[in-house]
Amino acid sequence: MDFENATPNTVKECEGFYVSHNSQDTAVYGCETTALVLGQMERFFILKGDHRRQYEARITLGLNACLDYFRTNSGDIHPYSEKLADASV
């Protein structure tokens, strides 16, 4: 499954969450970002850089697999991201 274009982002949806990549708003974020978004934009777990390929490998395994990837890449967590401890997931 390819990411769908949702300008300026590309998005890959799954039940209850989606992954959104943004390479356009670098003036806002300071770099390209990849966000794991829960619900209807209720929680945003943002990593610096392009993590689409890594999330794509996990998205069919479900939300917990994607959250595990986010946790293991804590060095790339963007300052605008919510922290997992702040979220009820």
Stronger pLDDT, 86 or 15, i.e. the higher one? 15
Looking at the predicted structure, is the pLDDT value of residue 85 above 80? Answer: no
Residue 87 forms part of a structural domain = no
Identify the three-state secondary structure at position 71.
helix
Residue 54 forms part of a structural domain = yes
Count of domains for the chain: 1
Residue 89 forms part of a structural domain = no
Q: What is the pLDDT of residues 4-55, one digit of tens each?
A: 555 578 889 889 999 999 998 888 889 999 999 999 889 999 999 999 999 9
pTM assigned to the model: 0.86
Which domain range does residue 18 map to?
4-82
